[in-house]
Structure 1
């Protein structure tokens, strides 16, 4: 559990950078965690007083998967939208889906979990959204 503060986002980013250190996917994983955790504290109860978010990172030789679960409280679940480059908002999950091989959004009545999977093989043949 990470505090729903900008400092918590920074801590999650550092922790993610340290986990898959030897992986060529480490930089993308760090960027994705930064984006997902920042969105959690900005758009959900995770950013409220005493709010938090949960981060999970799984690493294997071929895959890095990162998941951020928020505290809920948002009227709608996160969704991937490909916004115009000039848009000031709404590009976060589009960017995540451009970096990741697969993005999964799991929505419950209590919270939302966004999981991004990065595949090492996708680096050689391009990324799929």
Structure 2
């Protein structure tokens, strides 16, 4: 199943996005990871794309199948992609995609004429499907 919510491009929306992800993933073993990654992806969208400007928006999609969830954040970005790189140990910024790369089983980036989407997938052993 897929659920999508569109949010104003405001940092104050991050708690609502956390609640959206947590509400859909509930007590799955990867909920905490997915929630943190969703916040990192949204924060990147707000900082680095027009989605964080006046009137900007981000779309957050949570897609699930037994034992797997995919979080996708779509924004108004140009599609330019910077892979995660390590940063200075005391830097205040620049760790978002590193966090995503460590917590997600897979992540990637897609772009088209309307913007871009960054996604991350989380897997777990689903007792119900065994």
Indicate the TM-score class for this superposition, using the shorter chain for normalisation.
0.7 to 0.9
Between the aligned partners of 2:16 and 2:10, the Cα distance in structure 1 is: 10
Name the structure where strand makes up a greater proportion of residues. 2
Contact 1:77 1:107 in 2 (8 A): no
- Whether 1:116 aligns to 2:120 is yes
Is there any run of 5+ residues in structure 2 with no aligned partner, and where?
A: 1-5, 126-130
- The unaligned stretches of length 5 or more in structure 1 are 122-129
TM-score of the aligned structures, taking structure 1 as reference length = 0.84
Contact 1:70/1:111 (<8 A) preserved: yes
| Structure 1 partner of 2:3 | none
2:73 to 63, 68, 72: 68
Alignment of 1:26-105 (within 5 A): 26-73=31-78, 76-105=80-109
If the length of structure 2 is used for normalisation, what is the TM-score?
0.83
- The alpha carbon displacement at 1:61 in A equals 2.3
Q: Deviations over 1:75-110 (max 9, x none)?
A: x32432233433333211011010001011112343
User: How many residues were matched structurally?
Assistant: 120
Paired residues of 2:87 and 2:95 also in contact (CA < 8 A): yes
Q: Which structure has the higher relative contact order (CA within 8 Å, separation 6+)?
A: 2
8 Å contact kept, 1:71–1:111: yes
Q: Does the C-alpha gap of structure 1 residues 110 and 79 become closer, same or farther in structure 2, counting only changes over 3 Å?
A: farther
SS at match of 1:68: strand
Alignment match, 1:7:
12
